[in-house]
Structures are given as structure tokens and as C-alpha cells.
Structure 1
Amino acid sequence: MRGALMRLRRVTGLPVAFGGLVEPDSGQMRISELTGTATTALSAITVSSGNGLGGKTVALARPCSVTDYSSSRQISHEYDAAVAAEGLRSVLAVPIVVRRRVRGVLYGALRTAQPLGDRTLTSAAEAARDVEQSLVVRDEAHGLLAAARGPEAASGAAWEQVREAHGAL
């Protein structure tokens, strides 16, 4: 995820990018990666589906953005203190979707209130696709390793799948 956030900042010129993955047990998204931030205010925030911009993105499974976070009527405001502490105004959030499930959110932000254009949103969506592909490969590798540990682990076909997955990584 860190690489995708760095690319997002480099390609778009956005000064701040951050994101996190949805925790399987709770269904909440935890912000775990920050780049370009001036404070730790956003670090480890847990975002519930439907709350704030990221929660709206999780609930709708589509990109969302606001031009002025603190005054937007399109989102709820549970995270205003952290967003204000970081000095963020215009914010976008893009879902990371794997097998039709939202697995995380990437954010990009400006410290000024100005519209985020289509090119910026497209670049954010491309960064999310990069993370999605990494998660697909990781999930596949975990599945193959679990299958290799199962009772049919002795079969040559199962080991061949593991070797192929390892080679692909």
C-alpha cells in the first residue's frame, strides 16, 4: 500500500496520501499508512462503514470526494478533529475492491479547498487497482499454502500449484 500511496502523490501532486485495510473480524477500516502528513492525527483511526468520507466509500464501494471536508454536507463528521489537526480540506477516497468486497480505502488530500479533477480521481483509482492486485496475489498464495498443509498435501498436483504460485511471486 505504501508504494501505491507514494505513486499517487508523485503522479497527482497531492501533498498527502493515506489509507488502510478493512479488518476482517470487525469490518472496520483502520488507517495504517500515511505519507506527506505533518502530524500523527490520522494514524490508526478506525473508520466505520458509512462514517466520514472513507466510511461512505466503504459503504458505497465507489470513489467519493469533498471539496471542503469540514463543511461538507455529503458526509458525517466523526473524524473532523483528526482531519482538521492535519489541516486537510479537499479529500478523495477510493475503495480497494477484491472479489466484489471492499478491502480497504486509499485517500488523497489537499490542504486547500479546491475541486479535485478527473485526472486526480483516475490516478487514485489506478493506485487502488495496484493494491487490489497485490491483495489478490497474497490471497491466492495464502490459499495455496493452506491447501498444501491440508490432508491432501501429499498430492503432486497440490504441490505443483504451490510451486507455480511461488514462481509467480
Structure 2
Amino acid sequence: MSAIDLKSEDDLLSDAVGDLASRTGLPVAFGGFEREGAIDVTAVVGNRTPHLASLVVKPTRGLGGRAFVERRPRLALDYRSSRNITHDYDRAVLGEGISTLFAVPILVAGKARGVIYCGAWSRSPFGESAARSALQIAADLATELRVRDEVGRRLQLASTPEAAAPVLDVVIREELREAYAELRRIGAEVADAGIRRRLADIEQRLATLSRDGSAPIEHLDVRLSRRETDVLACAALGQTNAEIAATLSLREGTVKSYLQAAMAKLDAGTRHAAVTKARRAGLLP
């Protein structure tokens, strides 16, 4: 079984730090993940000196360490004179010449996984627009990490030797289908078009991996809307209308309407028949 190519955590972080500098308009951005009890800064853009490279921040210490343990953003408009933080990392921050610094924790399922920072070399006004952009970038990065974690966890089952019992193939297929439905739910909550495209690519690969190779694809002239597919993917897991509504944050009546529309398009009399036809047509895993 082929693996799904996923960006590494460090690559995702580098992308986020680059976006942070371009979208906030602040010249310096950097960040790192928590590893072995400390935040290891591995991504830096816009720096004029090497001081920020390989910076290691302990939780509770400095602006970023405080943001990490408090799980909320922290701002220092004048870093040098700030009395609200420890100054363990003055050599790195002031050595770079940073005056204004904003630190945002990366929260995945409520747990801090790291911190991203953006800053300016002179004391600068820090507006709502820049703060909102930084918070959104941190949230988008957290979503990508969450997706990566979930896909990785599910696909570990796929590494089982091919000599395993056929029953195991069924279990793996169902696990992948659950991951597919979960990714569609997450994708519905993401505003960033680029992330949605990457999620759609992973969804397609999961669908391919979970497809029963013995069943031929039937070419049907059917197109389901995104929400019709979301609802049908949940129905495929055996969820009731009420459970689907709770999963997708929809009204139960809306779920029923989407299901009926999908059944009509697939010319199916029941949801089970609709799921079967959608799978045969390659519309569902």
C-alpha cells in the first residue's frame, strides 16, 4: 500500500513563518515547536543577524515561553523595557535589534505545540489587523498539524504486512474511511483556500487507498455537492441524521435534505444504497 506524502512539521512551520512576515507587514518572523521540554526555534525570516538562529526557549521564560504556558498571545511594544516578561533571551532578541514583538502559541486540540513570533526593529504600533492575521496563521498551522497527526495515526494501520488476514484489510479500509469523513469535517471549517486544496488532495488519496480493488469503478454521470458528499460520508459510517447534524454543525432537517438530494442523484431508494452506488462510482472511499 503506498503512503501519502505529507509535509513535515518543520516545512509547515516554515510556510507559516513566511506567511506571518508577509501578512502582518512586520519585517521579522520566527517560530519553533516544543521538543524535549523547550521551544526549539527552527524557522526564521527577515532577520539581519544570526542571533535568532537555534534559539531555545523554555516554557514560562521570555515572551514566547509565557505565551506557550498561558496558551494565549503576548505582546511587548517595547521589549527592552517590558516588566511583564523575564529577559532570559535579550541577547538573541535585542541582538537582532527587535523592539516590538508579538508571540502566538500554536494550539492543537487545546495543547500548546509551539510558538510563532513576529517583530519590528523599532517600537511600532501593533494594530488589530496584524494581530488578527497572526492569530489566523497560528490557527491554520494548528489545523494542518491536526490533520497530519490524524492521517499519520490512521495510516499506521496500513503498514501491517500484506500477509495479514483479510479481516484486517476491512478494518484498515474502515479506519481510512473514518479519516476521510473527519478530514471533510475539518475542511468545512477552514477558510484558507490553499489549505482546503491540500486537504482535498489528501482526501482523494485516502479515498484511493481505501477503495476495494476487487470492485470495478462504475462511471456514473453524477456530481454531488460538497455538503452532499460530507453528509453521505458520515452516513457511510453508520451515523444517524442526528449524529451527522452534530458532527457537521448542521440542522437535522438540513442533513435530511442533503441525503435526499444525494439519493435522488444516485437513483437510490435508501441511504445504504446511495453509499454503495457512490463507492462504486468512486465518489466515496
TM above 0.5: yes
Residue pair 1:148, 1:162 contacting (<8 A) in 2 also: no
Deviations 1:74-113 (A, max 9, x none): 1000000011111100000001000110001110000011
Q: Which residue of 2 aligns with 1:92?
A: 102
1:135 aligns with 2:137: no
Q: Which runs of 5+ in 1 are unaligned?
A: none
What is the SS of the residue equivalent to 2:30?
A: strand
| Greater percentage in helix | 2
Q: 2:173 aligns with which of 151, 159, 166?
A: 159
Q: 1:21 aligns with which of 33, 37, 46?
A: 33
Q: Which runs of 5+ in 2 are unaligned?
A: 1-12, 184-200, 206-285
Letter of the 2:59 partner, please give it.
S
Q: TM-score, normalised by structure 2?
A: 0.55
RMSD of aligned C-alpha atoms? 2.1
Residue pair 2:24, 2:131 contacting (<8 A) in 1 also: no
The farther-off stretch of 120-129 and 152-161 is 152-161
Between Structure 1 and Structure 2, how many residues are aligned?
167
1:42 aligns with 2:52: yes
CA distance in 1, matches of 2:46, 2:122: 15
Residue pair 2:42, 2:53 contacting (<8 A) in 1 also: yes
Residue pair 2:106, 2:112 contacting (<8 A) in 1 also: yes
Letter of the 1:28 partner, please give it.
A
Letter of the 1:155 partner, please give it.
D
Deviations 1:108-145 (A, max 9, x none): 00001123122111110011012101101110122112
Residue pair 1:96, 1:105 contacting (<8 A) in 2 also: yes
What is the SS of the residue equivalent to 1:85?
A: coil
Letter of the 2:69 partner, please give it.
A
Q: TM-score, normalised by structure 1?
A: 0.89
Q: Which residue of 2 aligns with 1:114?
A: 124
Compute the displacement of 1:160 (Å).
4.6
1:4 aligns with 2:27: no
Residue pair 2:66, 2:74 contacting (<8 A) in 1 also: yes
What is the SS of the residue equivalent to 1:122?
A: helix
